[in-house]
């Protein structure tokens, strides 16, 4: 019965009051004609409250005439009456329907491509491969063949170990796992020399296999053979081997820095100016006048993609330009200050180059003074192994 | 009144389906479900009189409501004091 009432709610029903002397007869006729009445309650002698469905209500009129009853509607309940209320607001309902259809249809397209997992490969390169058969942005989701894109990526790039493509909402997520390029491994059975990879002065040379060709304190250039991949015997003649050994050498790293005694420095004044522009697909609308009110300023650009829900991206971007004003002012250093600045700058640069700072053996600083500037040259002496294997070419 | 046929007996179809005998289900003191009734004879706040094929059912109580009314079924809810029957069939049989 509950289910029946629920269906009646969907179809709509009305609360009615029946007034008359032959109410029992009225009810019997209703039952006979299969008019479903529920929540029937009698009050006083002649009043009857009941509920009846919309369709059945129209048939009640005939029964009322027959039984001399009067029917009145107290309350209208149900979905048809709710909908009826919106009949006057046709445009509102129409636009609502259009909006829903638009959201549904637009969510069938890809609006954004995201690449994750790439540390060394630039995102643009991956995107250019993906978009090589025409841009994927704005394409139907169903028409995108992810397997084909994955194959294309794997074929064109060797440094991708794994590619996965996921369609999340209107987002296309390209997950990439980078592969290290495998180093050229020289087989034990092949003949090789050990050559210098950096210029330096040899400090120690220990050949486990092969003939050492340089002595201690020899200065070597890049590419010089340090340990030859052959052994000469008195009786056996020249025999080629797989050279092995360790070559330690002093390597010099130098860095020159020029420090002006009068330097111009920037300082932000804290004044900020925001400018906005909207980008739809590739069409940009600027919402500002082009000239800034500041004389000197840095511009920071920020892009924000519009999205509905968490992953439904629209092809609309909001770009914010932040102009930060700065002032130039001059700083004059004394000779001593300029020197220190130069040294510290050079050291920072050098430490980026050197693999292991612990191996630094010695430090030299040369200072050339000029009336307008100071030139500082810092040299690090580093002890490190410089040998690498290289195949013997006959 | 419908008679019970052999087929109904073999298939053991319930009596209220195969014949017109009313089935009265009383749930607690507040609900009475009457199936196979013939119509309402009288309905007041405190008194319901129903016609069936074998007699008349009277239900006394307070605030009686008729809940689900269809052609054959009727649910009476409210505070029920008593249910009594007026047997027509028995009288007829005696006369015969």
Query: How many domains are there within chain A?
Result: 4
Average pLDDT of the residues in B74-95: 78
Residue A41 lies in a domain: yes
Nearest Cα residue to A165 out of A139, A188, A187, A196? A139
Whole-angstrom distance, CA of residue A245 vs CA of residue A388: 10
- SS3 (DSSP) at A26: helix
Residue A319 lies in a domain: yes
Residue A201 lies in a domain: yes
Of the candidates A295, A311, A332, which is a domain's last residue?
A332
pLDDT band at B95 (very low <50, low <70, confident <90, very high): very low
Q: Do A32 and B71 touch (CB under 8 A)?
A: yes
Q: Which residues contact A221 (CB under 8 A, 6 or more apart)?
A: A196, A199
Residue A121 lies in a domain: yes
Of the candidates A278, A309, A332, which is a domain's last residue?
A332
Mutate to test the interface with A, among B34, B56, B71 (most CBs of A within 10 A): B71
pLDDT at position A26 over 80: yes
Q: Do A31 and B66 touch (CB under 8 A)?
A: no
Read off the pLDDT of residues A43-80 as tens digits, 9 standing for 90 and up: 877 888 888 888 888 888 888 888 888 888 888 888 88
pLDDT band at A171 (very low <50, low <70, confident <90, very high): confident
Read off the pLDDT of residues B21-36 as tens digits, 9 standing for 90 and up: 889 999 999 999 998 8
How much is the pLDDT for A97?
Answer: 92
Residue A341 lies in a domain: no
Q: Could you tell me which residues are beta bridge partners of residue A165? A: A174
Asked if A201 and A172 sit in the same domain, the reply is no
How much is the pLDDT for B89?
Answer: 64
pLDDT band at B82 (very low <50, low <70, confident <90, very high): very high
CA atoms within 13 A of residue B53's CA, in its CB half-sphere: 12
Q: What is the pTM of this model?
A: 0.40
Nearest Cα residue to A361 out of A194, A195, A204? A204
Of all residues in chain B, the one with the smallest CA distance to A2 is B68
Mutate to test the interface with A, among B25, B70, B72, B79 (most CBs of A within 10 A): B70
Whole-angstrom distance, CA of residue A393 vs CA of residue B14: 103
pLDDT at position B2 over 70: no
| Of the candidate ranges A277-286, A304-313, A362-371, the one whose mean pLDDT is the lowest | A304-313
Residue A344 lies in a domain: no
Out of A71-75, A175-179, B65-69, the most confident range is A71-75
> Whole domain around residue A236: which residue ranges?
192-250
Q: Does A6 touch chain B (CB under 8 A)?
A: no
Q: Using alpha carbons, list the distances in angstroms from residue A238 to A158, A215, A232, A241, A393.
A: 40, 21, 4, 10, 15
Read off the pLDDT of residues A370-391 as tens digits, 9 standing for 90 and up: 777 888 888 888 888 888 887 7
pLDDT band at A311 (very low <50, low <70, confident <90, very high): low
Residue A340 lies in a domain: no
Average pLDDT of the residues in A169-187: 75
Asked if A277 and A217 sit in the same domain, the reply is no
pLDDT band at B93 (very low <50, low <70, confident <90, very high): low
Mean pLDDT score of chain A, rounded to an integer?
81
Of all residues in chain B, the one with the smallest CA distance to A32 is B71
How much is the pLDDT for B96?
Answer: 42
Is the CATH number 3.40.30.10 carried by domain B22-95?
no
Asked if A172 and A199 sit in the same domain, the reply is no
Average pLDDT of the residues in B55-84: 88
How much is the pLDDT for A1?
Answer: 65
Residue A106 lies in a domain: no
Of the candidates A332, A366, A385, which is a domain's last residue?
A332
Q: Please name the residue ranges forming H helices in chain B.
A: 6-11, 15-18, 88-95
Distance from CA of B90 to the nearest CA of A (A): 25
Asked if A295 and A238 sit in the same domain, the reply is no
Tell me the Ramachandran region of residue A151: left when phi exceeds 0, alpha when psi lies from -120 to 50, beta otherwise.
Answer: alpha
Average pLDDT of the residues in A87-116: 85
Give buried/exposed letters for A49-75 (b at 16+ CB in 10 A, else e): ebbbbeebbeebeebbeebebebeeee
Average pLDDT of the residues in A253-268: 81
pLDDT band at B59 (very low <50, low <70, confident <90, very high): very high
Distance from CA of A49 to the nearest CA of B (A): 10
């Amino acid at each position: 019965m509950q289910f029946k009432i629920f269906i009646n709610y969907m179809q709509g029903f009305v609360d009615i009051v029946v007034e008359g002397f032959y109410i029992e007869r009225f009810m019997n006729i209703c039952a006979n004609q299969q008019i479903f009445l529920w929540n029937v309650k009698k009050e006083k002698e002649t009043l009857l409250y009941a509920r009846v469905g919309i369709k059945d209500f129209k048939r009640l009129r005939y029964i009322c005439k027959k039984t001399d009853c009067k029917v009145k509607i107290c309350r209208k309940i149900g979905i048809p009456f709710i909908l009826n209320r919106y009949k006057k607001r046709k445009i509102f309902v129409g636009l609502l329907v259009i909006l829903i259809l638009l959201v549904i249809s637009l969510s069938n397209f890809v609006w954004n491509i995201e690449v994750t997992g790439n540390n060394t490969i630039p995102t643009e390169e991956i995107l250019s491969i993906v978009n090589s058969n025409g841009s994927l942005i704005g394409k139907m989701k169903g028409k995108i063949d992810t397997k084909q894109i994955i194959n294309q990526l794997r074929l064109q790039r060797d440094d991708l170990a794994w590619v996965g493509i996921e369609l999340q909402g209107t987002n296309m997520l390209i997950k990439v796992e980078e592969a290290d390029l495998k180093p050229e491994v020289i087989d034990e059975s092949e003949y090789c020399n050990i050559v210098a990879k950096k210029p330096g002065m040899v400090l120690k040379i220990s050949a486990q296999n092969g003939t050492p060709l340089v002595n201690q304190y020899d200065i070597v250039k890049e590419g010089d053979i340090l340990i030859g991949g052959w052994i000469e015997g008195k009786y056996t003649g020249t025999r080629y081997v797989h050279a092995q050994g360790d070559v330690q050498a002093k390597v010099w790293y130098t860095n020159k820095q020029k420090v002006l005694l009068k330097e111009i420095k920037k300082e932000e004044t804290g004044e900020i100016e925001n400018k906005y522009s909207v980008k739809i697909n590739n069409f940009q609308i600027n919402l500002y006048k082009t000239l800034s009110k500041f004389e000197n300023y840095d511009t920071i650009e920020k892009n924000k993609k519009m999205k509905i829900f968490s992953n439904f991206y629209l092809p609309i971007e909001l770009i914010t330009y932040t102009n930060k004003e700065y002032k130039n002012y001059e700083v004059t250093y004394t000779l001593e200050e300029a020197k220190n600045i130069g040294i510290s700058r050079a050291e920072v640069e050098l430490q980026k180059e050197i693999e292991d700072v612990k191996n630094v053996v010695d430090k030299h600083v040369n200072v050339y003074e000029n009336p307008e500037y100071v030139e500082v040259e810092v040299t690090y002496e580093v002890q490190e192994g410089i040998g690498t294997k290289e195949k013997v070419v006959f | 009144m419908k008679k019970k046929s052999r087929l109904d007996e073999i298939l053991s179809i319930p009596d209220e389906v195969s014949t017109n005998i009313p089935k009265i289900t009383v749930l607690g003191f507040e609900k009475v479900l009457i199936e196979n009734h013939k119509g309402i004879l009288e309905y007041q706040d405190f008194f319901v009189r129903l016609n069936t094929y074998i007699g008349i059912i009277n239900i006394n109580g307070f605030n009686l409501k008729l809940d689900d009314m269809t052609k054959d079924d009727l649910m009476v809810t409210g505070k029920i004091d008593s249910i009594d029957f007026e047997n027509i069939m028995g009288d007829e049989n005696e006369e015969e």
